Amino acid sequence: MKVLIVKASALGDVVHALPVLAWLKSADPAMEIDWLVEDGFASLLDGHPLVRKVHKIATRSWRRQGWLAAVRESRQAVGRIRGENYDVVLDLQGNSKSGLFALLSGAPRRYGFDRDGVREWPNLLATNCRVTLTEAEHHISERSLAVARAAFPQGHEHPLAGPLPVRPEAAENIARQLADFGLTGHRFAVLHYGTTWTPNLWPVENWQLLVQRLVAETGVVPVLTWGSNEELAVVKQIAAVAGGGALIWPRGTLPELVALLARAAVVVGGDTGPIHIAAAVGTPTVSIYRVTDGRRNGPRGERHICLQSPLDCSPCLRKECGKDRECGLSIPVAEVLQAVQTLLADKTAMSSLAPASVGK
């Protein structure tokens, strides 16, 4: 049995779909599972023990090169996919792009969402086995699992998140960097300011106060991660108020980020890829939700605390709103800090590492 998973983007969505791998393998341990994903996220899946082959596409760069290049590159990608002779395709994306690749794969059984579940209606033209989602399948991971269950009902197990193994070479690189920063054997909390949606950002002044209180009241070292030059500029503002007690982490590869998050005592952020990666590697998280829904997108389990804005209009899914500042401040620093302290005090989830000073 050869199965292709189509879940190309975004980073958090790809991570949310990982439990499907365990479900499929529990249905048939001999199943060969491949994955179609955008090139920028492929390193997350390369070498995954449950994935045989990763098909990489780069639709954004194809469009930048012009329509002729896009047609040429997409035809080559489709040729590689069709050459695998898949028995089943699981379209977990539900948009026009994913539907096109699912249809052109040539697989006789193509599973996807029904009209109420797809993101773009042309996707319905590509699938021939459509899944109706129930209220119990509100969470984004459950949406993907619903498709997997429909295709392979004999499956019997899956984790709440992951599995996402840490690559040995990435773990070694992170261990060396931690030693260079004087953090070997000490507890640190990763704080990720950025999110894909600007309205989901927590106010900078809240991050600054949180960093100050983490340094003063918990003893853990705040390690600030970032994904763009714009985020780096803000992260520098946040670190500046910590009196040298916070560390700006140098940007590395995606596997190295996975390895870093696996070593953290706790990870704090919004509805963003690093939060979901942390959950997939078993690290406790505190996540902040404003315009998106923590019940749908947030990490699940006792080791994860999702904080939703208490405003009546949240989650609104709006990209612009006149209540932006009110919404941002509606989740107070004290509440986030309390959540962090709760997880740090959980001896079943935390290692007994000592607090550290930044630098040697």
Q: Which residues contact 233 (CB under 8 A, 6 or more apart)?
A: none
Tell me, which fold does domain 2-151 have in CATH?
Rossmann fold (3.40.50)
Name residue 311's amino acid: L
How large is the average pLDDT for residues 269-283? 97
Give the per-residue pLDDT at 322. Answer: 82
Contacts of 183 (CB under 8 A, 6+ apart): 221, 223, 247, 356, 358
Model confidence at 360: pLDDT above 70: no
Q: How many residues does the chain have?
A: 360
- Greatest Cα-to-Cα distance within the chain, rounded to the nearest angstrom: 61
pLDDT digits (tens, 9 = 90+) for 224-262: 999 999 999 999 999 999 999 999 999 999 999 999 999
Nearest to 107 by CA among 84, 124, 125: 84
Q: Which of 190-199, 204-213, 274-283 has the lowest mean pLDDT?
A: 190-199
Domains 2-151 and 168-344 share a fold: yes
- Domain covering 168-344: architecture: 3-Layer(aba) Sandwich (3.40)
Which tens digit of pLDDT belongs to each residue from 16-28?
Answer: 999 999 999 999 9
Q: What residues contact 123, with CB distance under 8 A and at least 6 apart? A: 91, 93, 94, 95, 96, 98, 99, 112, 113
Q: What is the pLDDT of residues 75-119, one digit of tens each?
A: 999 999 999 999 999 999 999 999 999 999 999 999 999 999 999
Q: Could you state, in order of their start, the residue ranges of all structural domains in the chain? A: 2-151, 168-344
Query: 45 and 255 in contact (C-beta within 8 Å)?
Result: no
Rg, the chain, Cα only: 21
For the stretch 299-339, pLDDT in tens is 999 999 999 999 999 999 988 888 889 999 999 999 999 99
CB 165 within 8 A of CB 145: no
Q: How confident is the model at residue 347 (pLDDT cuts 50, 70, 90)?
A: low
Average pLDDT over the chain, rounded to whole?
A: 93
Tell me the whole-structure pTM to 2 decimals. Answer: 0.93
